[in-house]
């Protein structure tokens, strides 16, 4: 209730000041209200102030160029890139219509925030073995849509990545590219590939020190038995194995966890979602909230204080998106549409629809959004009374693996009900991406001991039952087939 009033005021004031409709991203009021507290509220992140935020220099966005698989790179391409002058590519003064803003936002979406190797660098994308060994997908036109070449200084093309496109772009089996869909670049596998190489060249002790420092960012202040701390005792080989265990579509993003990595959500249709992240950490009531979310996950890594403990990793806020860039980006994300669905609503799907209704799926996955936009308490979490009036909380539970909701920096104690729109083109499913396909998600064996998940299994890839959400697990083969046919039409 209160949040609505604050957001309204926060949205109005800067609009008057700037003479435009662009919300000021990082205001004290908006930042105080935009997140759901963590399960242990005293350890909820305390963010940097409005003043400190606006002191961070704005990222300059340069014109970028496609990256090709080496087999498809036009002759002389790298030489040609070296001739190109650096060019500013984001000029808000020129943006007049909504279509202009959306187009500029597409550029922001694909603009890198890192120029050094992260999942890969310039050498890797020009090495055919890298594709074969990591399974990096290539689009029909021979490009890889997860990164771009950038000219910041003439004569020095740099491979830039870690823009939204690196994780939120999907190359479909036929090679078409779907921006915003659950990404399928195998980033953590690539990280493991690079680590394995580096380990052969640098002293092992030195490497170990570096990866342990990297892993520290996932530790959760105030958590007695923190599974993320386990990384501090891992050998280099175990780090490599933990990365290799993470399939495409799942990734150990900042503020998530290397041992409990989350599924990358499909962000097509995000406009209709009231909470962002699997745990519903960020409330989404206005475009300003999506702008705050975007700068939070890209620019403010390591800058929040959790309780009275200061995060160990080095702050990375070298630059931030401007309010205009964020507004363009969010407008673009709101404009994204799913690919056209090849699955017909035929007689089998129609039967599946009645199975869906009979099984009560719609209580949570309510049409037309196929989510009721509610938070579901994870096992082991009892919502405080005050939450009942502040957030939309379901009285039902699903009993899925509660660790991500309780033992990570995204841990609100809840999982939100995901929308089922677009399940036909995404996967792996569930908050860890434990189930590779819809068939696996509705396979009754998945809840049994000794089951080896077909999607993300765990850092050591061992057997682990994929518990909870037992809806639809007892269907006849015929009903299950029909249900899946229906789900694939959404
Ligand atoms: C390194 C990979 C990576 C990059 C880069 C990345 N994301 Fe994400 N994104 C994720 C993962 C993983 C999650 C799920 C986190 C969770 O649930 O805790 C996520 C969640 C989201 C969500 C929440 C969607 C939902 O329904 O819950 C939005 C919105 C989003 N990202 C937008 C962006 C935007 C915009 C950018 C660029 C400014 C971006 N992301 C960059 C990996 C990435
Ligand atoms: C009580 C609420 C509830 C009911 C009833 C329910 N679901 Fe879900 N569903 C959820 C939640 C919550 C998740 C996410 C769980 C997680 O990731 O831990 C989910 C996840 C899913 C997913 C995976 C989506 C993805 O993108 O990863 C599918 C598919 C799904 N449900 C289908 C169904 C079907 C079909 C039914 C009926 C047979 C059903 N659900 C009944 C709450 C519900």
**Cα–Cα distance for residue pair 263/268, rounded to 1 Å:** 15
pLDDT, tens digit, 9 for 90 and up, residues 344-382: 999 999 999 999 999 999 999 999 999 999 999 999 999
In a domain, 179, yes or no: no
Residue 199's pLDDT is what? 87
Same-domain pairing of 352 and 455:
yes
Q: Is the CB of 430 under 6 A from ligand 2?
A: yes
Which ligand is in closest contact with the Cα of 332?
A: 1
In a domain, 366, yes or no: yes
Q: Which helix (H) or strand (E) holds 282?
A: strand 282-283
Same-domain pairing of 317 and 368:
no
Same-domain pairing of 279 and 409:
no
Is the predicted pLDDT of residue 251 greater than 80, yes or no?
Answer: yes
Same-domain pairing of 353 and 483:
yes
pLDDT, tens digit, 9 for 90 and up, residues 391-447: 999 999 999 999 999 999 999 999 999 999 999 999 999 999 999 999 999 999 999
Residue-by-residue DSSP string for 358-423: HTTGGGTS-TTTT----EEEPTT----HHHHHHS-B-S-------HHHHSSTT--SEEE----TTT
Q: Which residue's alpha carbon is nearest to atom 36 within ligand 2?
A: 361
Q: Among the three residues 332, 361, 392, which one is the final residue of a domain in this structure?
A: 332
For the record, the structure tokens of 376 come out as 């579901």
Residue 283's pLDDT is what? 97
Same-domain pairing of 326 and 381:
no
Which ligand is in closest contact with the Cα of 433?
A: 2
The CATH number of the domain where 397 resides is what?
1.10.760
Residue 20's pLDDT is what? 53
Residue 323's pLDDT is what? 97
Reduce the DSSP state of residue 126 to 3 states and report it: coil
In the predicted model, what is the mean pLDDT of residues 290-307? 92
Pick from 78, 82, 70: nearest CA to 152: 82
Q: Is the CB of 44 under 6 A from ligand 1?
A: no
Q: Among the three residues 332, 362, 388, which one is the final residue of a domain in this structure?
A: 332
469 Cα to the center of ligand 2, angstroms: 6
Kindly indicate the confidence band of residue 16, based on its pLDDT and cuts at 50, 70 and 90. very low
Residue 461's pLDDT is what? 80
Residue 312's pLDDT is what? 47
Residue 85 burial class via C-beta count within 10 angstroms: exposed 0-12, middle 13-18, buried 19 and up: exposed
Which ligand is in closest contact with the Cα of 419?
A: 2
User: CB of 88 within 8 A of CB of 61?
Assistant: yes
pLDDT, tens digit, 9 for 90 and up, residues 23-69: 999 999 999 999 999 999 989 999 999 999 999 999 999 999 999 99
Same-domain pairing of 352 and 441:
yes
264 Cα to the center of ligand 1, angstroms: 7
439 Cα to the center of ligand 2, angstroms: 13
Same-domain pairing of 317 and 369:
no
pLDDT, tens digit, 9 for 90 and up, residues 66-124: 999 999 999 999 999 999 999 999 999 999 999 999 999 999 999 999 998 999 999 99
User: CB of 392 within 8 A of CB of 375?
Assistant: yes
- Please state the atom number of ligand 2 nearest to the C-alpha of residue 396: 1
CA distances, 459 to each of 213, 247, 260, 400 (Å):
18, 11, 8, 18
- Please state the atom number of ligand 2 nearest to the C-alpha of residue 431: 17
**From 266, 471, 473, 481, mutation site for ligand 2 pocket: most ligand atoms within 8 A of C-beta:** 471
In a domain, 8, yes or no: yes
Same-domain pairing of 365 and 407:
yes
Pick from 147, 248, 276, 133: nearest CA to 193: 133
Q: Which residue's alpha carbon is nearest to atom 6 within ligand 2?
A: 361
Kindly indicate the confidence band of residue 279, based on its pLDDT and cuts at 50, 70 and 90. very high
Alpha carbon 157 to its chain centroid, in Å, reads: 27
% of the chain at pLDDT higher than 90: 83
In the predicted model, what is the mean pLDDT of residues 224-240? 90
- Please state the atom number of ligand 1 nearest to the C-alpha of residue 256: 18
In a domain, 226, yes or no: no
As a whole number, the mean pLDDT across the chain is 92
Which residues are CB-neighbours of 234 under 8 A, at least 6 positions away? Answer: 212, 215, 242
Q: Is the CB of 287 under 6 A from ligand 1?
A: no
Same-domain pairing of 458 and 355:
yes
Same-domain pairing of 470 and 369:
yes
pTM of the predicted model, to two decimals? 0.93
180 Cα to the center of ligand 2, angstroms: 21
Is the predicted pLDDT of residue 326 greater than 90, yes or no?
Answer: yes
**From 181, 365, 395, 440, mutation site for ligand 2 pocket: most ligand atoms within 8 A of C-beta:** 365
Same-domain pairing of 315 and 363:
no
Q: Which residue's alpha carbon is nearest to atom 25 within ligand 2?
A: 429
Q: Is the CB of 253 under 6 A from ligand 1?
A: yes
Q: Look at the chain and report how many structural domains it folds into.
A: 2
Q: Is the CB of 410 under 6 A from ligand 1?
A: yes
**Cα–Cα distance for residue pair 404/140, rounded to 1 Å:** 36
Q: Is the CB of 270 under 6 A from ligand 1?
A: yes
Kindly indicate the confidence band of residue 311, based on its pLDDT and cuts at 50, 70 and 90. low
**Cα–Cα distance for residue pair 252/291, rounded to 1 Å:** 22
Residue 313's pLDDT is what? 47
Residue 3's pLDDT is what? 42
Q: Among the three residues 304, 332, 360, which one is the final residue of a domain in this structure?
A: 332
Q: Is the CB of 250 under 6 A from ligand 2?
A: no
143 Cα to the center of ligand 1, angstroms: 22
User: CB of 179 within 8 A of CB of 336?
Assistant: yes
371 Cα to the center of ligand 2, angstroms: 9
Q: Which range marks the domain in which residue 358 is found?
A: 347-487
The length of the chain is 490
In a domain, 126, yes or no: no
Q: Is the CB of 292 under 6 A from ligand 1?
A: no
362 Cα to the center of ligand 1, angstroms: 26
In a domain, 406, yes or no: yes
Q: Is the CB of 106 under 6 A from ligand 1?
A: no
336 Cα to the center of ligand 2, angstroms: 23
Torsion of CA 423, 181, 122, 84, to 10 degrees: 150
478 Cα to the center of ligand 2, angstroms: 20
Q: Which residue's alpha carbon is nearest to atom 3 within ligand 2?
A: 364
Which ligand is in closest contact with the Cα of 329?
A: 1
Same-domain pairing of 273 and 389:
no
pLDDT, tens digit, 9 for 90 and up, residues 453-478: 999 999 988 889 999 999 999 999 99
**From 181, 267, 293, 332, mutation site for ligand 1 pocket: most ligand atoms within 8 A of C-beta:** 267
**Taking the CA atoms of the chain, what radius of gyration do you get in angstroms?**
22
In a domain, 89, yes or no: no
In a domain, 409, yes or no: yes
């Amino acid at each position: 209730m209160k949040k609505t009033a604050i957001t309204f005021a926060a949205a109005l004031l800067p609009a008057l000041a700037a003479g435009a409709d662009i919300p000021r991203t990082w205001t004290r009021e908006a930042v105080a209200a935009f997140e759901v507290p963590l399960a242990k509220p005293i350890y909820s992140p305390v963010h940097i102030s409005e003043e400190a935020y606006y002191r961070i220099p704005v990222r300059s966005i340069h014109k970028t160029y496609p990256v090709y698989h080496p087999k498809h790179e036009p002759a002389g391409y790298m030489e040609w890139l070296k001739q190109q002058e650096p060019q500013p590519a984001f000029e808000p003064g020129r943006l007049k219509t909504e279509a202009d803003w959306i187009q500029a936002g597409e550029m922001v979406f694909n603009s890198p925030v890192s120029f050094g190797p992260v999942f890969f660098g310039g050498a890797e994308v020009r090495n055919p073995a890298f594709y074969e060994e990591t399974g990096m997908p290539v689009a029909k036109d021979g490009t890889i849509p997860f990164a771009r070449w950038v000219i910041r200084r003439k004569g020095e093309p740099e491979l830039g990545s870690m823009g939204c496109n690196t994780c939120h772009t999907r190359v479909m089996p036929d090679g078409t590219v779907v921006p915003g869909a659950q990404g399928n670049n195998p980033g953590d596998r690539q990280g493991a590939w690079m680590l394995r190489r580096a380990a052969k060249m640098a002293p092992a002790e030195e490497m170990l020190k570096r990866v342990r420092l990297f892993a520290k960012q996932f530790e959760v202040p105030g958590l007695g038995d923190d599974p993320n701390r386990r990384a501090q005792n891992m050998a280099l080989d175990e780090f490599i194995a933990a990365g290799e265990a993470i399939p495409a579509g799942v990734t150990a993003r900042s503020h998530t966890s290397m041992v409990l990595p989350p599924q990358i959500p499909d962000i097509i249709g995000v406009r209709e979602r009231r909470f962002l992240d699997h745990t519903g950490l960020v409330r989404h009531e206005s475009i300003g909230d999506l702008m705050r979310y975007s700068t939070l996950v890209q620019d403010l890594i390591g800058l929040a204080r959790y309780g009275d403990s200061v995060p160990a990793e080095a702050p990375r806020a070298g630059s931030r998106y401007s309010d205009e860039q964020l507004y363009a980006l969010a407008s673009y994300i709101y404009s994204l549409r799913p690919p056209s669905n090849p699955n017909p609503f035929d007689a089998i799907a129609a039967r599946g629809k009645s199975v869906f209704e009979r099984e009560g799926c719609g209580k949570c996955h309510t049409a037309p959004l196929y989510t009721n936009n509610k938070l579901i308490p994870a096992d082991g979490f009892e919502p405080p009374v005050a939450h009942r009036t502040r957030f939309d909380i379901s009285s039902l539970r699903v009993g899925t693996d509660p660790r991500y909701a309780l033992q990570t920096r995204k841990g609100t104690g809840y999982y939100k009900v995901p929308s089922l729109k677009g399940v036909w083109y995404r996967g792996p499913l569930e908050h860890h991406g434990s189930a590779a396909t819809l068939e696996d998600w509705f396979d009754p064996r998945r809840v049994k001991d000794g089951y080896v998940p077909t999607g993300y299994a765990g850092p050591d890839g061992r057997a682990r039952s994929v518990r909870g959400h037992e809806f639809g697990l007892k269907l006849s083969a015929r009903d299950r087939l029909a249900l899946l046919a229906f789900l694939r039409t959404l």
